[in-house]
Chain A
């Protein structure tokens, strides 16, 4: 049993971390890009200014040269002009220094230019102002030193600008890659997080679904393995509690059912001995009619009749209790339908004669044997016929018919009694149920006959049904399987002699 943190907590933490991560990546990325852009603009501007200054320096130097040696022969070198030009040169140098900032290469170039210019002014400029001609080689060297230094400054400013451009481009690219990587990473993390979450739920949820199906299918021992996020684990625990309670209830119900069955079995069993004795003695007395007066004889007759009825009821109850407890057993054997009909007919004849009813039997020609317990199927037929005998009016007809229907034999018992309504048909096989329409109210019987008939037929693997047209009569049909070796057989061996009932 492995319980993970709750779903809510995990979702909250997951979303929080993910949100913070994506926010940080976006803000840092955008900030960095902005900063790169601003830096780039500053640098570019600085190097442009620097280039501008280097042009000014060049111009100032040309002015210096022109003041020391005027192009027009009539003009004289002027100290004042030279000084002005030198000042503007020095201003440009100091501005260039400012623009150079921390760029060491540019600073060196500015220094070199400044020192080359002051060297030129000291040796060439001063000499010209004084009217001396400096040695041509020296002048050329000093002058070219200044021009070279000026070119170098221009170049390094241009190079600096290019470098700043390259650097900005690289930085922008790197930052963009980093931000993209960060976003992709975040999305991957989200994917992993949610997949994990779903997986952690899938197995325990699957177990719950399967458990619920098994439970619904009637397997009350079903329990699920508890696991997954807290919410699902709680659901699993609740499921198991429910299953426990269901199983407990079912067990309790079974126990009560068993107790009831045992009770009915025991009671019926215990009742049999005294009933046997009462019946036996009462019957004995009825046989001694001569020694009894008419009142005594009547009393003994009623006692014997009641004891017989009680015994029948006890037997019926016992059969039903056995059937409920799964202890009702049958011994099916290939049984001749004709002999079954004969046996039941013999048993029932006195009852039909008593009510002046015609009893007709029709058994289809060449009917194969059925796989049946002869005693039990006789009991079923007797119950159905007894019912017809009781409910049908005097002088009417009761029919027993047996026909082949595919691989089964159908038995049908029909009467011309009052029949049953639709609602009555639903309950006709219920225990202790009795039709209670008007004139038939006085009918006796245990109310168990049809319930037993149903149990017995079903025990044979058959089915029993009731049909009726109210006012015209009722028909009870049941089917029994044909015996495997459907050959005609000897007459059924009567384990209990027929004709004794009643």
Chain B
């Protein structure tokens, strides 16, 4: 079963994502900010998630900061950034920070699932 770590500062968005992703058959762990996301990663230990979904903008520690720390520590877990910034340069900026992909907020559900599948499959076949 594909394991996901989802971080978003909006409680309702987080709950919605968790329920729907669980319905799609994923194993979902949630975090409401960057610190919590790093905490959950530590707790998971060897059972690290297959894909991480990070909201780019969160209080305390933002998704981009979490992404930077992950890449600094050498982690290669695929990260899908969710960004409310619809700037045309945003996807490139996120990729340059080490994100595997980027999805604008709000997103279409099919698109989100498609990207998660792509990243999960890519990890299994060893392609970043």
Question: Chain A interface (Cβ within 8 Å of chain B)?
Answer: 269, 272-277, 279-281, 283-284, 287, 311, 315, 318, 329-331, 373, 495-497, 500-501
Q: A277-B12, A284-B20 are in contact. Are A497 and B106 (CB under 8 A)?
A: no
Q: A284-B19, A500-B111 are in contact. Are A276 and B88 (CB under 8 A)?
A: no
Q: Which of chain A's residues has its CB closest to B106's CB? A: A276
User: Which of B23, B104, B105, B108 is within 8 Å of A500, CB to CB?
Assistant: B108
Roughly how many angstroms separate A281 CA and B19 CA in the complex, as a whole number? 8
Q: A277-B12, A277-B16 are in contact. Are A283 and B88 (CB under 8 A)?
A: no
Given A277-B13, A496-B104, 18 more A-B residue pairs with CB atoms under 8 Å apart are A269-B84, A272-B84, A273-B13, A276-B13, A276-B107, A277-B10, A277-B15, A277-B16, A279-B106, A280-B17, A280-B109, A281-B16, A283-B109, A329-B88, A331-B88, A331-B89, A496-B111, A501-B108
Q: Are B89 and A496 in contact (CB under 8 A)?
A: no
Q: Is B39 close to A, CB under 8 A?
A: no
Question: B4 CB to closest chain A CB, in angstroms?
Answer: 15
Q: Which of chain B's residues has its CB closest to A279's CB? A: B106
Q: Is B91 close to A, CB under 8 A?
A: yes
Q: A281-B19, A284-B19 are in contact. Are A497 and B108 (CB under 8 A)?
A: yes
Q: Is B124 close to A, CB under 8 A?
A: no
Q: Are B16 and A330 in contact (CB under 8 A)?
A: no
Question: B85 CB to closest chain A CB, in angstroms?
Answer: 10
Q: Which of chain A's residues has its CB closest to B114's CB? A: A497
B-side interface residues, number (CB < 8 Å): 24
Roughly how many angstroms separate A215 CA and B62 CA in the complex, as a whole number? 48
Task: Give 3 closest A-B pairs by Cβ, nearest first.
Answer: A331-B88, A500-B108, A280-B16
Roughly how many angstroms separate A373 CA and B88 CA in the complex, as a whole number? 9
Give 25 pairs: A residue, B residue, CB < 8 Å, sorted on A: A272-B105, A273-B12, A273-B13, A277-B13, A279-B106, A280-B16, A280-B17, A280-B20, A283-B20, A283-B109, A284-B16, A284-B19, A284-B20, A287-B23, A311-B106, A315-B106, A318-B86, A329-B87, A329-B89, A331-B89, A497-B108, A497-B110, A497-B114, A500-B108, A500-B110
Q: Which of chain A's residues has its CB closest to B22's CB? A: A284
Question: A208 CB to closest chain B CB, in angstroms?
Answer: 47
Question: A286 CB to closest chain B CB, in angstroms?
Answer: 11
User: Which of A331, A373, A496 is within 8 Å of B108, CB to CB?
Assistant: A496
Roughly how many angstroms separate A287 CA and B19 CA in the complex, as a whole number? 12
Roughly how many angstroms separate A389 CA and B84 CA in the complex, as a whole number? 30
* CB neighbours of B109 from chain A (8 A): 280, 283
Question: Chain B interface (Cβ within 8 Å of chain A)?
Answer: 10, 12-13, 15-17, 19-20, 23, 84, 86-89, 91, 104-111, 114
Question: B13 CB to closest chain A CB, in angstroms?
Answer: 6
* CB neighbours of A497 from chain B (8 A): 108, 110-111, 114
Roughly how many angstroms separate A279 CA and B112 CA in the complex, as a whole number? 14
Q: Which of chain B's residues has its CB closest to A312's CB? A: B106
* CB neighbours of B86 from chain A (8 A): 318
* CB neighbours of A277 from chain B (8 A): 10, 12-13, 15-16
Question: A303 CB to closest chain B CB, in angstroms?
Answer: 13
* CB neighbours of A331 from chain B (8 A): 88-89
Q: Are A276 and B105 in contact (CB under 8 A)?
A: yes
Roughly how many angstroms separate A496 CA and B114 CA in the complex, as a whole number? 11
Q: A277-B12, A284-B20, A287-B23 are in contact. Are A330 and B106 (CB under 8 A)?
A: no
* CB neighbours of A274 from chain B (8 A): 12
Question: B3 CB to closest chain A CB, in angstroms?
Answer: 20
Q: Which of chain B's residues has its CB closest to A307's CB? A: B106
Q: Which of chain B's residues has its CB closest to A308's CB? A: B108
Roughly how many angstroms separate A272 CA and B84 CA in the complex, as a whole number? 9
Roughly how many angstroms separate A273 CA and B8 CA in the complex, as a whole number? 11
* CB neighbours of B89 from chain A (8 A): 329, 331
Roughly how many angstroms separate A496 CA and B104 CA in the complex, as a whole number? 9
Q: Are A330 and B108 in contact (CB under 8 A)?
A: no
Question: B109 CB to closest chain A CB, in angstroms?
Answer: 6
Q: Are A330 and B88 in contact (CB under 8 A)?
A: yes
Roughly how many angstroms separate A454 CA and B111 CA in the complex, as a whole number? 27
* CB neighbours of A284 from chain B (8 A): 16, 19-20, 23
Q: Are A273 and B10 in contact (CB under 8 A)?
A: yes
Q: A273-B12, A284-B19, A284-B20 are in contact. Are A495 and B91 (CB under 8 A)?
A: yes
Question: A343 CB to closest chain B CB, in angstroms?
Answer: 14
Roughly how many angstroms separate A451 CA and B18 CA in the complex, as a whole number? 37
* CB neighbours of B111 from chain A (8 A): 496-497, 500
Roughly how many angstroms separate A30 CA and B87 CA in the complex, as a whole number? 94
